[in-house]
Amino acid sequence: MKADFHCHTTASDGSLSPEALIDRAIEYEITDLAITDHDTTKGYESVITYAQQKGLNLIAGTEISCQWQGKTIHIVGLNVDVNNAPLQAGLLWNRVLRWQRAFQMITKLQKKNIQHVFEDLMPMVQTSMIGRGHFAQLLLNRGIVSSQQQAFDRYLTKGRPGYAAVAWPELSEVVAWITQAGGIAVIAHPHIYKMTSKKLNLMISEFKAAGGQAMEVVNQPRVSSEQTGMADRAVRFDLYASLGSDFHRPEQTWRGLGWLAPMPNRCKPVWELWAES
């Protein structure tokens, strides 16, 4: 088994179409894949049949934005029922919040003399979700910045001129969207939140109390002290462990699809939850 349970397509801020992502998964000999686009399941839904034809075990997923103590946190939902109405209503709510933020960002960029952003973004985004990644691509396309990273650093992160905050739903609410849709809530990339260890542990315990069942332990190709710390936490809090590259685009060579260290032996792998059912 070679698994990757966290990646993106053009249905959110990834650069590969859902079909091209499946092709890449097959090329990289991945057997089990979850497409986890931000706040939508459209990419997954569009390739269910295609993945079946290719013999890939495709798991329904999404990565949902929420907040805990005022900080944006990402929760992955795995093995959700994509036809669940309350879940889809929640995802739509988040996409509406994303459009509200986008209009604020457009106004802010206009003040920096960056014009006609809406007209350029619409063909790019169409009916899928809008994220800061689309703004980064636009700034790159116009030659205002020389990379996506530079677009974030100069314009799109907190304190920069194009940044606008979002009042995401609370963590406990998002966990409930996932669990009532039969899915497994997973804390995404727990090492990136710039929290003290104590605060991270508090977040994990509140997540668990809300019904969360798993956390990502493996996000990188090599074992690191961060990974060891997360494996220890998964054991300590009795959570299942997930793994995912957070693949967005082939150019990010450090984040390859399926390029992941093995699951530590002491962890309970998240796939046991659906293998049993």
Amino acid at 152: F
Size of residue set near ligand AMP by CB under 6 A: 11
C-alpha distances in angstroms, 113 versus 108, 116, 169, 204? 9, 10, 32, 43
246 binds Mn ion, rule: CB under 5 A: yes
CA distance 118 to 103: 8
Rounded least distance, CB 131 to ligand AMP, Å: 3
Q: Which residues contact 115 (CB under 8 A, 6 or more apart)?
A: none
CA distance 270 to 5: 10
As given in the structure block, the two tokens for residue 123 are 């063909």
> Are 93 and 205 in contact, with CB atoms under 8 Å apart?
no
Site string for ligand AMP, 153-172 (x = CB under 6 A): ----x---------------
Which of Mn ion, ligand AMP, none does 137 bind, CB closer than 5 to 8 A by kind?
none
**Binding residues for ligand AMP restricted to 169-228, rule: CB under 6 A:** none
Nearest CB to ligand AMP, comparing residues 44 and 152: 152
Q: What are phi and psi of 126, to 5 degrees?
A: 50, -125
Which of Mn ion, ligand AMP, none does 148 bind, CB closer than 5 to 8 A by kind?
ligand AMP
Which of Mn ion, ligand AMP, none does 4 bind, CB closer than 5 to 8 A by kind?
none
**CA-wise closest residue to 36 among 186, 261, 212, 252:** 186
Contact stretch for Mn ion (CB under 5 A) within 57-65, 92-100, 139-147, 266-274: 57-65
CA distance 215 to 248: 20
C-alpha distances in angstroms, 194 versus 121, 169, 190? 31, 20, 9
Which of ligand AMP, Mn ion, none does 24 bind, CB closer than 5 to 8 A by kind?
none
Rounded least distance, CB 180 to ligand AMP, Å: 23
Among 24, 42, 74, 95, binds Mn ion (CB under 5 A): 74
Which of ligand AMP, Mn ion, none does 43 bind, CB closer than 5 to 8 A by kind?
none
Rounded least distance, CB 40 to ligand AMP, Å: 12
Rounded least distance, CB 259 to Mn ion, Å: 15
Rounded least distance, CB 195 to Mn ion, Å: 15
Q: Is 7 helix (H, G, I), strand (E, B) or coil?
A: strand
Rounded least distance, CB 122 to ligand AMP, Å: 16
Nearest CB to ligand AMP, comparing residues 251 and 276: 251
Pairing of strands 71-78, 57-68: antiparallel
> Are 183 and 162 in contact, with CB atoms under 8 Å apart?
no
CA distance 33 to 60: 9
Task: Return residues touching Mn ion (CB under 5 A).
Answer: 13, 63, 74, 188, 246
Task: Return residues touching ligand AMP (CB under 6 A).
Answer: 13, 38, 65, 131-133, 148-149, 152, 157, 248
